[in-house]
Chains A and B, each alone.
Chain A
Amino acid sequence: MEILDEITGKDYEFGFTTNIESDKIPAGLNEGVIRLISQKKNEPQWLLDWRLDAFKIWQTMQEPEWAHVQYTKPDFQAISYYAAPKSKPKINSLDDLDPEMRKTMDKLGISLDEQKRLNGIAVDFVMDSVSVATSFKEKLGELGIIFCSISEAIQNHGELVQKYLGTVVPKKDNFYAALNSAVFTDGSFCYIPKGVKCPMELSTYFRINEGGTGQFERTLVIADEESYVSYLEGCTAPQRDENQLHAAVVELIALERAEIKYSTVQNWYPGDKEGKGGVFNFVTKRGLCDGYKSKISWTQVETGSAVTWKYPSCVLKGDYSVGEFYSVAVTNHFQQADTGTKMIHIGRNSHSTIISKGISAGKSNNSYRGLVQINPSAQNARNFSQCDSLLMTDQCGAHTFPYIEVNNSTAQVEHEATTSKIGEDQIFYCLQRGLDEEQAISMIVNGYAKEVLNKLPMEFAVEAQKLLAISLEGSVG
């Protein structure tokens, strides 16, 4: 094709910054900073102790190097660990929102009022370090559903947070999880009581605004027995020449017969076409299927970040529990992604499904890394994995690293993998039917990723399709 080197790519749409006065502490990390964060957030003693313990652990750990990515390691002393918009609005009166903040939300397509009210989506908005607004709280409250920032949960539902925090992702789990445990500033919290099916999509938008900061949010979702919740997170950041660090931890807990569906549309700033700037997305996400017939389903559409290191996983502890992972990861230009999942089978008759669709363009590198572990107790466990890679150019890379550990002879584990280059024949076929090249690529790629996109909540499937098309504009070679 003629456009071989013509990697134009659309400019990042969310690269604006918002001029909001910010309360930002000086860069650097030490015990004092952690005490300061804890104090600013008026936290109970147990949490401060927990943070300090995590910090001690973190200091003994090394940044992992096994992932198939290359980057200059962040200088952890050069990052500011707390930035909060100064005029923090009170949550219940959205009309009091800082107009600049409001504009930010409008630009991001988040309206916290009518529009989403009609769509029936409750939104929590986290900017830099703090959650600034949560909608629909009262309506959810009537059902006993708690949906708020984790800071509020710590104040108002401390016993729940204390009971579950760090139970799925322990402080010492990995380098970034330890760091997050020490310095996390906000995030979302959600608790669905027994037998309640949450009637609307819950959604969190994460936004890094300040320069020189890191974002360390902590999300905790607890679905009590026989409850159901569908949760969506979206992420964007301004365009900056420097690399920004995002090291989040997400913990999901599904009790007996509960189901959590967790979807992510990740569009952090990926850096420019020369690979300068962009977000380092080093995230630990894990769900615990704690009870009989519990189910956790991860769906992710990853188009952003300069470097992604992320493995949303399921610990299938309950008998007959189900874990699912559906992923589309797109890399373009100089982006690098090392992403996949872990399915840890412990319960009898536990089932897991992994569908991973990688799309590599430009000079990017896209790796799938997945572990399927069948423990001795997991009688009759089943796993099905399918990992497909689509190459858009001949300068990009697609890699698959499957790890399979089976310690029970009754287990059935299937793994399928394919790699293909986007067909010039397919594109030409579309052109011959009158479609232009962009339409053709968008159609072919969306068709390829359809199995995963179909798993997203309706409202976001369309958004994700557009995002895929934008991320890959002019990318075939």
Chain B
Amino acid sequence: MMKIENLKASIDGKEILRGLNLEVKPGEVHAIMGPNGSGKSTLASVLAGREDYEVTDGTVTFNGQSLLDMDPEIRAREGLFLAFQYPVEIPGVSNMNFLKAAVGEMRKHRGQDPLTAKEFLALVKEKSALVELDGQLANRAVNEGFSGGEKKRNEVFQMAMLEPTLAILDETDSGLDIDALRIVAQGVNAMRSPERSFVVITHYQRLLDYIVPDVVHVLYKGQIVKTGPKELALELEEKGYDWIKETVA
């Protein structure tokens, strides 16, 4: 699915990712944890193709192609989805029109015919139910006036609509209360399949109670310094990151 080798990236001349390696196989759920400033969100941004970051070394292979050579919208159409930590508001643009355009591009890229209005609405109905997003929310402007929880649910809703092969969730649990967390996790779990992989970036073990990962990685100073089974997350929760820092030092 995706293989990252020796990835180095910097912003404004400051190196954040310092030779990161990671391989995600189809159907796997990887959790990436780590202290503040370790490079978690940078990794998400670099993979999605944000231009603020400069990739200075390394390769990323995504479904057999070089991901870093693709424009951001091509990465998206090839099946890479990023659930943003801070989803932006786009005033005046209805969620519906936005998704319709996005779904249209995805389908065009895959050589599929556009959905009819009826098919599209049926899809919206089916997918919005996954995250218990009521119909009204779908008709409002993209994220405008949404609560923190609504924004995150909307991200998962969009993911469900776009059916990516690799979804990166960037701190999707931040700012969520326990009910919203459960709903978001439920949406993600419903989408798990042998062909679809997830990279779940989080600070806290809590989310991983709901979205159970196959592998847990610890990111520190721009490198993956420890990899383990799901129990690693519990250990981190208990001991904090200091013992990892000491091990690395």
Interface residue ranges, A against B (CB under 8 Å)? 1-2, 423, 425-426, 428-437, 439, 443-444, 446-451
Interface string of B5-46 (1 = CB under 8 A from A): 000000000000000000000000000000000000000000
B50: nearest residue on chain A (CB-CB)? A428
B216 to chain A, nearest CB (A): 25
User: Is the beta-carbon distance between A434 and B76 smaller than 8 angstroms?
Assistant: yes
Q: Which residues from A are CB-within-8-Å of B71?
A: 431
- B103-162 with Cβ < 8 A to chain A: 105-106, 109, 141, 158, 162
Q: Which residues from B are CB-within-8-Å of A432?
A: 48-49, 72-73, 76, 81-82, 84
Judged by DSSP, the binding face of A is helix
User: Is the beta-carbon distance between B102 and A434 smaller than 8 angstroms?
Assistant: yes
Partner pick for A429 among B51, B90, B91, B162, CB 8 A cutoff: B90
User: Is the beta-carbon distance between A443 and B73 smaller than 8 angstroms?
Assistant: no
Known: A428-B50, A429-B84. A435 touches B101 (CB 8 A): yes
- B47-89 with Cβ < 8 A to chain A: 48-51, 71-73, 76-77, 81-82, 84, 87-88
User: Is the beta-carbon distance between A443 and B93 smaller than 8 angstroms?
Assistant: yes
What are 12 A-B pairs with beta-carbon distances under 8 A?
A: A423-B88, A429-B87, A429-B90, A432-B73, A432-B84, A433-B105, A434-B73, A434-B105, A434-B106, A435-B101, A435-B102, A447-B90
A449: nearest residue on chain B (CB-CB)? B92
Partner pick for B92 among A1, A428, A446, CB 8 A cutoff: A446
Q: Which residues from B are CB-within-8-Å of A2?
A: 51
Interchain CA distance A2-B221 in the complex, whole Å: 28
Q: Which residues from B are CB-within-8-Å of A448?
A: 91-92
A357: nearest residue on chain B (CB-CB)? B92
User: Is the beta-carbon distance between B90 and A433 smaller than 8 angstroms?
Assistant: no
User: Is the beta-carbon distance between A426 and B102 smaller than 8 angstroms?
Assistant: no
User: Is the beta-carbon distance between A431 and B91 smaller than 8 angstroms?
Assistant: no
Partner pick for A435 among B50, B81, B105, CB 8 A cutoff: B105
Max chain A C-beta neighbours (<10 A), residue from B49, B71, B76, B88: B88
Interchain CA distance A215-B222 in the complex, whole Å: 65
Known: A1-B51, A434-B102, A434-B105. A428 touches B72 (CB 8 A): yes
User: Is the beta-carbon distance between B98 and A433 smaller than 8 angstroms?
Assistant: yes
User: Is the beta-carbon distance between A447 and B88 smaller than 8 angstroms?
Assistant: no
Q: Return the 6 tightest CB-CB contacts between A and B, nearest first.
A: A447-B92, A447-B93, A450-B92, A433-B102, A434-B105, A434-B76
Max chain B C-beta neighbours (<10 A), residue from A2, A433, A434, A450: A434
A436: nearest residue on chain B (CB-CB)? B73
User: Is the beta-carbon distance between B162 and A434 smaller than 8 angstroms?
Assistant: yes
Interchain CA distance A434-B104 in the complex, whole Å: 9
User: Is the beta-carbon distance between B158 and A433 smaller than 8 angstroms?
Assistant: yes
Given A426-B90, A446-B93, output 8 extra A-B contacts at Cβ < 8 Å. Answer: A428-B48, A428-B72, A432-B82, A433-B76, A434-B77, A434-B109, A435-B105, A439-B105
Interchain CA distance A431-B52 in the complex, whole Å: 14
Partner pick for B73 among A423, A425, A431, A450, CB 8 A cutoff: A431
User: Is the beta-carbon distance between A447 and B91 smaller than 8 angstroms?
Assistant: yes
Q: Which residues from A are CB-within-8-Å of B158?
A: 433
Interchain CA distance A344-B181 in the complex, whole Å: 55
B114 to chain A, nearest CB (A): 13
Interchain CA distance A435-B105 in the complex, whole Å: 7
Interchain CA distance A425-B105 in the complex, whole Å: 20
User: Is the beta-carbon distance between A444 and B90 smaller than 8 angstroms?
Assistant: yes
A472 to chain B, nearest CB (A): 15
Interchain CA distance A450-B77 in the complex, whole Å: 28
A65 to chain B, nearest CB (A): 36
Q: Which residues from A are CB-within-8-Å of B109?
A: 434
